[in-house]
């Protein structure tokens, strides 16, 4: 079985645990106990195999507290013993790892150009993936797809449904309101339905609903580069353009839950005849924007798979789009870097890996020229959870709410 490191190409040797509890108010013992267990489980997941002594050092908890917490986690089959650490005095220390079969979740990504379902184990491995390329799928169509995907997962015995803890759904904000080319009027129905009520009864488990870019950023935080990076910006390039912020190991939502949402920033685009027209950033930087750029040049594309089969002249058109996209993203990314001072800026989404990497390289080249004037510009890098980032991030939401450290676990209530 591939390790999480191999799956996501992550180097754990420099893993830096987040400053759990930073900025949180005091609370009662019941909440503190739950939070301490979450912190311990997170430390095992991020640093395992790990001894109890190292857990105490990382979490700041006492040895007796760690002993009690790890016993509960072992009894609940959330962690496993993975051999012993030899050397030193006394009995060899037992090493602990997360049990991948300890819990499972299902993630659903609903977007304007595709729908996808993933089944995730607690180690972060995708046990099943089913997707469909479809533009502006209606609710009944998505429900039918989801039910068929669940039956396929059951048939394949991909996960143990008795340990399924929830469904996570990631979808763009205002899915039915934002007008895009060729969007049917009936698509507005997405603004009128309760999505959680639509899918909850199918499996009779809790449903977590989140913006797709937010879900992707949380996924990167919990199972991607966020294992080493405490503060980062995440940009999701999909049918639209979204983003999220992770600061000091915590997702920062903002007042209205729209932190990092740069897609609606106003820009001025120049048409081929030289006319300048007002637009939004996602009109120029998104999958739909790339498709339009290629179609205007005579290359009919409508899915990411089409991008992998372009002739050389089509690839040149993609390179031209990358240059334009980098120029549009240059100032917004630079502003975010200066304002937030993150360690990195990750780009994920359904663009081909080569396109994302070229876009990152172009931006980094431009920022290198500013190094004598602008200090500490965050490097732009392809996200670890890039292709299925929104679906995987959605699947991580139930884990995040049930088991992993969240600021709300220690916040006082009225």
Is the dihedral angle over the CA atoms 347, 131, 252, 264 positive or is it negative? positive
pLDDT on residue 410: 40
Dihedral class, residue 182 (left if φ above 0, else alpha if ψ from -120 to 50, else beta): left
Q: What is the CATH number of domain 225-384?
A: 3.30.420.40
Domains 104-219+391-402 and 225-384 fall in the same CATH topology: yes
pLDDT on residue 104: 97
- Domain extent listing, the chain: 4-99, 104-219+391-402, 225-384
* b/e per residue 262-297 (b: at least 16 CB within 10 A): bbbbebebeeeeeeeeeebbbbbbbbbbbbbbbeee
Q: Max Cα separation, the chain?
A: 79
pLDDT on residue 27: 38
Domain spanning 4-99, CATH class: mainly alpha
Q: What is the CATH number of domain 104-219+391-402?
A: 3.30.420.40
pLDDT on residue 7: 36
Dihedral class, residue 62 (left if φ above 0, else alpha if ψ from -120 to 50, else beta): beta
From first to last of the 414 residues of the chain, give the pLDDT tens digit.
Answer: 343 333 334 333 333 333 333 333 223 444 556 889 999 998 998 888 999 999 999 999 999 999 999 999 999 999 999 876 545 555 668 899 999 999 999 999 999 999 999 999 999 899 999 999 999 999 999 999 999 999 999 999 999 999 999 999 999 988 877 777 678 889 999 989 999 999 999 999 999 999 999 999 998 998 899 988 999 999 999 999 999 999 998 899 888 888 989 999 999 987 767 788 999 999 999 999 999 999 999 999 999 999 999 999 999 999 999 999 999 999 999 999 999 999 999 999 999 999 999 999 999 999 999 999 998 999 999 999 867 889 999 999 999 888 887 654 443 333
Q: What is the DSSP letter of 191?
A: G
Q: How many CB atoms lie within 10 A of CB 320?
A: 13
**What is the length of the chain?**
414
Q: How far apart are CA 133 and CA 128, in angstroms?
A: 17
Long-range contacts of range 404-408, CB-CB < 8 Å, 24 or more positions apart? Answer: 404/38, 404/41, 404/42, 404/45, 404/222, 405/18, 405/20, 405/35, 405/38, 405/39, 405/42, 405/249, 406/38, 406/250, 407/23, 407/24, 407/250
Cβ–Cβ under 8 Å, residues 326 and 366: yes
């Amino acid at each position: 079985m591939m390790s999480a490191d191999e799956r996501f190409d992550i180097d754990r040797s420099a893993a830096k645990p987040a400053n759990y509890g930073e900025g949180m108010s005091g609370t009662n013992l019941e909440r503190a106990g739950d939070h301490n267990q979450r912190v311990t489980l997170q430390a095992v997941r991020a640093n395992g195999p790990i001894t109890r002594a190292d857990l105490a050092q990382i979490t700041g908890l006492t040895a007796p507290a760690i002993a009690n917490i790890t016993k509960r986690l072992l009894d609940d089959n959330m962690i496993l013993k993975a051999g012993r650490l030899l050397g030193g005095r006394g009995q060899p220390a037992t090493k602990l790892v997360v049990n991948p079969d300890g819990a499972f979740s299902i993630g659903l990504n609903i977007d304007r150009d595709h729908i996808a379902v993933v089944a995730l184990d607690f180690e972060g491995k995708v046990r099943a993936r089913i997707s469909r390329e479809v533009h502006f799928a209606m609710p009944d169509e998505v429900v039918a797809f989801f039910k068929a995907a669940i039956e396929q997962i059951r048939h394949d015995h991909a996960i143990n449904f008795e340990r399924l803890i929830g469904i996570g759904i990631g979808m763009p904000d205002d899915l039915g309101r934002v007008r895009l080319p060729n969007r049917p009027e009936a698509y507005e129905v997405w603004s009128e339905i309760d999505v959680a009520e639509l899918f909850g009864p199918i499996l009779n488990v809790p449903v977590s609903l989140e913006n797709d870019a937010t879900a992707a950023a949380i996924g990167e935080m919990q199972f991607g580069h966020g294992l080493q990076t405490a503060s980062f910006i995440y940009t999701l390039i999909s049918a639209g353009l979204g983003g999220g912020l992770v600061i000091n190991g915590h997702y920062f939502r903002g007042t209205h839950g729209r932190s990092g949402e740069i897609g609606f920033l106003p820009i001025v685009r120049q048409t081929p005849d030289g006319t300048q027209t007002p637009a939004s950033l996602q009109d120029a930087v998104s999958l739909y924007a790339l498709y339009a750029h290629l179609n205007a040049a005579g290359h009919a594309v409508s899915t990411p798979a089409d991008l992998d089969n372009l002739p050389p002249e089509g690839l040149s058109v993609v390179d031209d789009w990358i240059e334009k996209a980098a120029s549009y993203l240059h100032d917004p990314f630079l502003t975010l870097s200066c304002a937030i001072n993150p360690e990195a800026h990750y780009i994920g989404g359904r663009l081909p890996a080569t396109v994302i990497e070229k876009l990152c390289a172009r931006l980094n080249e431009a920022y290198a020229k500013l190094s004598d004037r602008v200090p500490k510009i965050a490097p732009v890098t392809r996200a670890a959870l890039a292709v299925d980032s929104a679906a995987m991030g959605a699947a991580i939401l139930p884990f995040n709410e049930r088991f992993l450290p969240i600021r709300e676990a220690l916040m006082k209530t009225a």
